[in-house]
Amino acid sequence: MTCPKQHTPVMPEEVMALLNLPAGGTAIDATLGMGGHAVLMATRLEAQGHLIGIDRDRSSLAEAKKHLSAAPARVDFRQGNFSDLGRIVGELKVLEVDGILMDLGLSSFQLNNAQRGFSFQEDGPLDMRLDPDHNTSVADLVKKLPEAELARIIADFGEERFARQIAKAIVQMRAEAKIERTTQLAGIVLRALPHGYTRGRIHPATRTFQALRIAVNDELASLSEGLEKGRALLKPGGRMCVIAFHSLEDRIVKGKFRRWAEEEWGTILTKKPLQPTEEECVSNPRSRSAKLRAIQRTP
**Domain end position, chosen among 217, 246, 267:** 217
Same domain assignment for residues 103 and 228: yes
Average pLDDT over residues 211-234: 95
- CB count in 10 Å sphere of residue 274: 19
E strand intervals along the chain: 26-29, 50-55, 74-79, 97-103, 234-244, 266-268, 291-297
Same domain assignment for residues 121 and 211: yes
d(CA 158, CA 25) in angstroms, rounded, equals: 39
Q: What CATH number does residue 91 fall under? A: 3.40.50.150
Give a yes or no: residue 7 inside a domain: no
Same domain assignment for residues 241 and 258: yes
**Domain end position, chosen among 199, 217, 235:** 217
Q: Is 206 helix (H, G, I), strand (E, B) or coil?
A: helix
pLDDT score, position 2? 35
Same domain assignment for residues 48 and 193: no
Residues 6 or more apart whose CB falls under 8 angstroms from that of 135 comprise: none
- Give the model confidence (pLDDT) of 13-34 as tens digits: 999 999 999 999 999 999 998 8
Q: Is 90 helix (H, G, I), strand (E, B) or coil?
A: helix
Same domain assignment for residues 270 and 238: yes
d(CA 175, CA 88) in angstroms, rounded, equals: 44
- Give the model confidence (pLDDT) of 37-93 as tens digits: 999 999 999 999 999 999 998 888 988 999 899 899 999 999 998 888 999 999 999
Same domain assignment for residues 41 and 185: no
pLDDT score, position 119? 81
Give a yes or no: residue 6 inside a domain: no
The DSSP 8-state label assigned to residue 78 in this structure reads E
Same domain assignment for residues 91 and 237: yes
Give a yes or no: residue 42 inside a domain: yes
The pTM of the full predicted model, rounded to 2 decimals, is 0.90
Q: How many residues does the chain have?
A: 299
In sequence order, what are the beta bridge partners of 55? 79
Query: Can you give the residue range of the structural domain that contains 176?
Result: 115-217
**Which ranges in 159-200 belong to alpha helices (H)?**
163-174, 182-192
Q: What CATH number does residue 177 fall under? A: 1.10.150.170
Same domain assignment for residues 189 and 41: no
* Statement: residue 4 has pLDDT above 60: no
Beta 97-103 vs 234-244: how paired, if at all?
parallel
Give a yes or no: residue 126 inside a domain: yes
> Using 50, 70 and 90 to split pLDDT, how confident is the model at 109?
low
Average per-residue pLDDT in the chain?
Answer: 91
Give a yes or no: residue 3 inside a domain: no
- Higher model confidence: residue 204 or residue 41? 41
Q: Is 266 helix (H, G, I), strand (E, B) or coil?
A: strand
Same domain assignment for residues 207 and 175: yes
Give a yes or no: residue 78 inside a domain: yes
Same domain assignment for residues 65 and 154: no
d(CA 47, CA 199) in angstroms, rounded, equals: 52
Residues 74 and 24: beta-carbon distance below 8 Å: no
* Statement: residue 1 has pLDDT above 50: no
* Statement: residue 272 has pLDDT above 50: yes
Residues 185 and 126: beta-carbon distance below 8 Å: yes
Same domain assignment for residues 105 and 129: no
Average pLDDT over residues 200-206: 79
> Using 50, 70 and 90 to split pLDDT, how confident is the model at 132?
confident
CA distances to 64, 118, 265, 281 from 109, rounded to whole Å, are 11, 11, 37, 19
pLDDT score, position 107? 65
pLDDT score, position 198? 60
- For the chain, how many structural domains are there in total? 2
Average pLDDT over residues 269-287: 91
User: pLDDT over 70 for what percent of the chain?
Assistant: 94
pLDDT score, position 58? 87
Give a yes or no: residue 232 inside a domain: yes
Same domain assignment for residues 200 and 170: yes
**Domain end position, chosen among 197, 217, 237:** 217
